[in-house]
Structure 1
Amino acid sequence: MALRLVVRSLSELCLTVGTLIVLFVVYVLYWTGVQAQGASADQIDSLQREWTTAPVENAPAPGSGPGSGPGSGPDSVPAPVGEPSAAPPRARVAPSPPPPYTPGKGIAVMYVPRLGADWKWPVLEGTGPAVLKKGLGHYAGTARLGETGNFSVAGHRRTYGDPFKDFPRLRPGDAVVLTDGTTWFTYRVDRGPYRTVPGDVGVVAPVPEPFRKNAAGFTGPGRYLTLTTCDPEWGSSHRLVVWGHLDATQPVTDGRPQALDS
């Protein structure tokens, strides 16, 4: 009787544990993907609404700005030598730098034709767990999109939508296209995938300097792109990295870049 009770209890325990394991696998393989797809779609919709409703900066009116005003222009008569001009020249004012990206907020949408015609993910500021559940993450402190330096982005290989599941398929020459709502930025992959360890932080330096000398192939300042993800596919002991450079830009008003349709 006692033996039967023990066997029955063990059987029930095994069934319970097995059910929990199955539910966990379903959560990891399916439900996190559903959540991520919904969150990324919301992020893209939010960005597109923001871009659509953003005020358009007015161009300076003809005859305004530095160098305009009395005593300037093609029809003006220069003041006689030794006499003051009608108005002192205006000092040129350097444009103020753009504000830093807001942590957790969407900054761009990325397209990688090599990973699929419908592959499209938002890029948010930061690489924390909460951010990477919604899309790709921009390493804080790396360059802004399109600027000199290293625009660096991380993404999950598996779970939360598997954005970089096919990361190993990336090859030199592949296009990585991003938009911030006003401009298309087309980067071209130069090197990778390169396998390294999480502590190899030089991969996202302004001029990438990975542990393996010349792995990135860059020797001086430029407008670079770094993409990173975990390796192996279902682990995180290592990282896969690809590097690229800014190949072209064009205004959004000019239509889609050719790289998306090739």
Structure 2
Amino acid sequence: MRERVERVPVVVQGRRGRRGRAARLVWGGAEAAVTCGLVLLLLVVHQLWWTNRQAREGAERKVQALEREWGRSDQSDGASPGDNAQPESEEPDPAGRDAGSGESSGRQRPDPQQQPVTAPAPRWDQAYAVLRIPRIGIRVPVAEGVSKSAVLNKGYVGHYPRTAQPGQGGNFALAGHRNTHGEPFRRINRLAGGDEVVVETKKAVYTYVVDKVLAQTSARDSGVIRAVPRSLVKAGHGYSSPGYYITLTTCTPEYTSKYRLIVWGKLRSMRPR
């Protein structure tokens, strides 16, 4: 009688097991990639949309607050920073000469002793003026300093310390974001000669007119914000004599901070509020 031999089935899992592990790894990698993509998308939305919305709303509230404050202020109060304003009929000498220099421009300059006394410089981060550029629809506060967290990221335009105040001889130099955080200087590359740049303070309104544009220069080109603005990098760009200037600076190309875009203007008129 033959003995029955039982055969035990043997399952070979080598190849199938490797395929299963590979599939799980691929699926896990896909999930991680999708998650990373969503996080990056949210970051982009936050930077390009949410920060702009917050900054613009905050900047507009500050403009309205300044205008209410100026409306309530007594006309007998002292001048705000830089308000050594001349009468509207008097034009500043673009060469910065005065009557005592021996060089007459054909206009009698007002006596400095009859000018309103210039108030102390605004405190750090204080918003004290409003910048309007009708050509590109800008109306934003101007604050002292160019700190990102305290000024620029609020959607404000920042005033470079140790440059002139509005209406003063020299260079009233400003910086602003071109992208994100309100991006007030997003379209200043569209400005051209003759466009108006208006600066309003508590006591006066100053109208500058765009004169020159430097499309690109080094981020370290400090000459563009000097009292007589002139590029130290791009030969022949800027001015050679004293005057009443305004300088707008921002980053270029868009979404980078490698270079700077510069817009220069000259003071055309000033009038009391």
Specify every segment of 5 or more residues in structure 2 that has no aligned partner in the other structure, as ranges: 1-19, 79-112
The count of corresponding residues between Structure 1 and Structure 2 is 217
CA contact (8 A) 2:132 2:199 kept: yes
CA contact (8 A) 1:168 1:193 kept: no
RMSD of aligned alpha carbons:
2.0
- Residue 213 of structure 1 is matched in structure 2 by 235
Matched, 1:103 2:124: yes
Matched, 1:39 2:58: yes
Query: Aligned to 2:216, which of 176, 181, 195?
Result: 195
- Residue 49 of structure 2 is matched in structure 1 by 30
- Residue 83 of structure 1 is matched in structure 2 by none
Matches within 5 A, 1:1-262: 1-57=20-76, 97-116=118-137, 119-130=138-149, 131-134=151-154, 135-211=156-232, 212-216=234-238, 218-252=239-273
CA contact (8 A) 2:214 2:237 kept: no
Cα deviation digits, residues 78-137 of structure 1 (max 9, x gap): xxxxxxxxxxxxxx8997542012111112111111113xx2111111111120022111
Q: If the length of structure 1 is used for normalisation, what is the TM-score?
A: 0.78
TM-aligned CA deviation for residue 55 of structure 1: 2.7
C-alpha separation in 2, matches of 1:95 and 1:110: 22
Aligned-partner residue type, residue 29 of structure 1: L
Aligned-partner residue type, residue 133 of structure 1: N
With a CA cutoff of 8 Å and minimum separation of 6, indicate the structure with the bigger relative contact order: 2
TM-aligned CA deviation for residue 191 of structure 1: 0.7
TM-aligned CA deviation for residue 29 of structure 1: 1.1
- Alpha-carbon spacing, 1:96–1:161, altered in 2? closer, same or farther (3 Å): closer
Answer with 1 or 2: which has the greater Rg.
2
C-alpha separation in 2, matches of 1:94 and 1:223: 17
TM-aligned CA deviation for residue 163 of structure 1: 1.1
Cα deviation digits, residues 186-211 of structure 1 (max 9, x gap): 00111103310111011000011212
Partner of 1:37, secondary structure, is: helix
* % identical aligned pairs: 37
C-alpha separation in 1, matches of 2:250 and 2:115: 38
C-alpha separation in 2, matches of 1:9 and 1:194: 48
Specify every segment of 5 or more residues in structure 1 that has no aligned partner in the other structure, as ranges: 60-91, 253-262
C-alpha separation in 2, matches of 1:230 and 1:111: 20
C-alpha separation in 1, matches of 2:77 and 2:271: 19
